[in-house]
Amino acid sequence: MEEKRKMLKVYIMGEAYDVPEGSTILMAIEYAGFQVKRGVGCREGFCGACATVYREKNDYKLKGGLACQTVVTDGMSLAQIPSVPAEKPVYDIAELEPNENAIKELFPTVFRCVACNTCTKACPQDILVMDYIQALKRGDIAMAADLSFDCIRCGLCALRCPAEIVQYNAAILARRLYARYLTPKSPEVDIRIQEIDGGKYDAEIESLKTTPRDELTKKYYSREIKLD
C-alpha cells in the first residue's frame, strides 16, 4: 500500500492551498492547478525566469529565491515575479572603452551603491553582487565580468537594492566589454574562422543536416572529449 504523502498549507498569490511536502515552489504552484506560462523556464536554476518572493510562517523577513529550487515550508506565503521592470540602455560596444567611463555613461546608478550588501544576500546563486558593483565603480571590468559570470538575470538583486541599481544589466555590459577588449586573443580561433569562411566544413555540415536523429545522437555521445 502506497504511503500517503504529507501535505503542507501554502499561500500562493494570497490563496491557501494544500501541496505535498518536499515540493519546490514551482511544483507546488502547478499542483495547486495553476498553468504556469510566465515565471518558468529551464526548471534547473539556469535561466532565472522563476524569481519568487516569499515569507515563511512566523518569520518577518521577505525572502527571494528561484521557484524551481526553493522547497516550500508549511505556512509559506509566496508570489512570483515573472519579470523585473528595468530600463536597458542601447549602445554600440565598438564606441565604448573598457573602463569606468562606460559605466558612468550607461549605468550612473552604479555609483549610488552604499555597499549594504543586500544584493548579494538576495542572490539565489550566491554571486558576490556587491563586489562586482564595487569593481565597476573602480573601472575593474575584468573582475566585474569574472564575479558576475554565473548571473542568470533573475532580477532579485535589483528588487531589493535601496540604490535602485539594475545590477544584472550592468554586469552584462562588463562581460561584453571584457569579451571584446580584454579577453586574450586565440590564434587557433582566428584560423578556424578563416576555415569556416573558406567553406572547409560546408560538405560536412550539409551531411549532418540529412543525418537521422538517432545517428546524430550516437555521433554526439561517442565523440572524443578533451578535458585538459
Pairing mode, strands 51-55 and 15-20: unpaired
Number of domains in the chain: 3
Same domain, 144 and 200: no
* Domain-located, residue 189: no
* Domain-located, residue 36: yes
Domain of 135, in residue numbers: 93-182
161: left (phi over 0), alpha (psi -120 to 50) or beta: beta
Same domain, 98 and 170: yes
Task: Give the count of alpha carbons within 13 A of 177, CB side only.
Answer: 27
Residue-wise over 22-51: b if at least 16 C-beta within 10 A, else e? ebbbbbbbbbbebeeeebbbebebeebbbb
One-letter amino acid of 68: C
Per DSSP, helices labelled H in 148-223 are 156-160, 167-177, 187-197, 202-209, 213-222
Using H for helix, E for strand and C for coil, what is the string for 125-166? CCCCHHHHHHHHHHCCHHHHHHHCCCCCCCCHHHHHCCCCCC
The H or E element that residue 103 is part of is helix 100-106
* Domain-located, residue 227: no
d(C-alpha 122, C-alpha 151), whole Å: 12
d(C-alpha 11, C-alpha 222), whole Å: 48
What is the pLDDT tens value at each position of the chain, 228 positions in all? Answer: 456 889 999 999 999 999 999 999 999 999 999 988 888 889 888 899 999 999 999 999 999 999 999 999 999 999 999 888 998 899 999 999 999 999 999 999 999 999 999 999 999 999 999 999 999 999 999 999 999 999 999 999 999 999 999 999 999 999 999 999 999 888 999 999 999 999 999 999 999 999 999 999 998 899 887 765
* Domain-located, residue 61: yes
* Domain-located, residue 62: yes
Cell numbers of 21, please? 511536502
Same domain, 57 and 138: no
Same domain, 63 and 118: no
d(C-alpha 145, C-alpha 30), whole Å: 36
DSSP state of 13: T
d(C-alpha 176, C-alpha 164), whole Å: 22
Model confidence pTM above 0.75: yes
Same domain, 103 and 178: yes
* Domain-located, residue 86: no
Same domain, 173 and 103: yes
**Burial of residue 153, with CB atoms counted within 10 A of its CB: 0-12 exposed, 13-18 middle, 19 or more buried:** buried
Predicted pLDDT of residue 60:
94
Q: Where is the domain boundary, 27, 59, 80? A: 80
Sequence-distant (6+) residues with CB within 8 A of 172 are 153
Cell numbers of 99, please? 573602463
* Domain-located, residue 199: yes
Query: What CATH number is given to the structural domain containing 30?
Result: 3.10.20.740
